[in-house]
Amino acid sequence: MLNLVIFGAPGSGKGTQSERLIDEYGLHHISTGELLRRHIAEGTELGTVANQYISQGHLIPDDLMIKVLEDVLDSNPELTSKGVIFDGFPRTIEQAKSLNNMLDKRGTKVHAVVGLEVNEDDLIKRMLQRGKESGRADDNIDTIRERLNVYHNQTSPLRDFYINEGKYHAIDGNGNVDNVFGSIKKSLKEKLG
C-alpha cells in the first residue's frame, strides 16, 4: 500500500505520469484539477466558485480545497486503504499539513513525493500545446504566466517541506514520457523496495 504525492509546476507531466503510476502500482487517483473541472462542466455550486479562481490562474482558497479533499476521502474510504496518488494536491504548506492530518486520522501517511522538475521554457511550450489539443481554458499564455507565478510563490516551498520529511524524490522531468517514468520507478524502488 502506497500513498504518493505527485508534485511539480503546471505542465510538468503530473497527469501523464500519474496514469503510468496507476498502471504500475494499482493506485487510485485523485486529481483536484480534474475534479474541479468536472464540477465546472456540470455547473455545480463548487464549479461556479472554482471557475472564478481557475480562470485567473489562482488557487482555490485552502479552507475550501481542504474540505473538498476531505469529502472525497470520507465518501470513498477504500481510497486510503488501497493507496492513492494525489495529483495537484497539496499546493500550499497549509494543504500539506492538512493532508498529513487527514491521512494520520485514517491510520496512514504520505509514503513518498515524486517531484517532477522541468525547465520553465518547456513548461510553457507544453501547456500551450495542451491548450491547442484539449481546449483547456487556463492553458493560454496570460493564465499560464500567472499559474507559474503562483507556483513559485505558493507551491514550490513544498519541495523543502517534503525534503525535510525525507520523502522528496527529485525527478528530471525534461525527457520523454518513458524515460521520466523509468526515473520515477528507479527512485521509488531505491526508497521503498
Give catalytic status of residue 106 as yes or no. Answer: no
Give catalytic status of residue 130 as yes or no. Answer: yes
> Rounded to the nearest whole angstrom, what is the least distance from the CB of residue 91 to ligand AMP in the complex?
4
Give catalytic status of residue 147 as yes or no. Answer: yes
> Rounded to the nearest whole angstrom, what is the least distance from the CB of residue 69 to ligand AMP in the complex?
8
Distance CA 1, CA 179 (A): 25
Binding mask 31-50 for ligand AMP (x = CB under 6 A): -xx--x--------------
Is 88 a binder of ligand AMP (CB under 6 A)?
yes
Give catalytic status of residue 91 as yes or no. Answer: yes
> Rounded to the nearest whole angstrom, what is the least distance from the CB of residue 78 to ligand AMP in the complex?
22
Where b means 16+ CB within 10 Å and e means fewer, 117-147 reads: ebeeeebbebbeebbeeeeeebbeeebbeeb
Q: Which residue is nearest to ligand AMP (CB)?
A: 33
φ/ψ region of 83 (left if φ > 0, alpha if ψ in -120 to 50, else beta) reads: left
Asked if residues 112 and 169 have their Cβ atoms less than 8 Å apart, the reply is yes
Give catalytic status of residue 136 as yes or no. Answer: yes
For the segment 65-84, give every residue that binds ligand AMP (CB under 6 A). 65
- Nearest Cα to Cα of residue 79 among 95, 50, 102, 112: 102
Asked if residues 89 and 69 have their Cβ atoms less than 8 Å apart, the reply is yes
Is 60 a binder of ligand AMP (CB under 6 A)?
yes
Is 5 a binder of ligand AMP (CB under 6 A)?
no
> Rounded to the nearest whole angstrom, what is the least distance from the CB of residue 32 to ligand AMP in the complex?
3
Pick between residue 88 and residue 167 the one whose CB is nearest to ligand AMP.
Answer: 88
Task: Cite the active site residues.
Answer: 14, 91, 130, 136, 147
Chain positions contacting ligand AMP, by CB under 6 A: 10, 32-33, 36, 53-54, 58-60, 65, 88-89, 91, 95, 138, 147
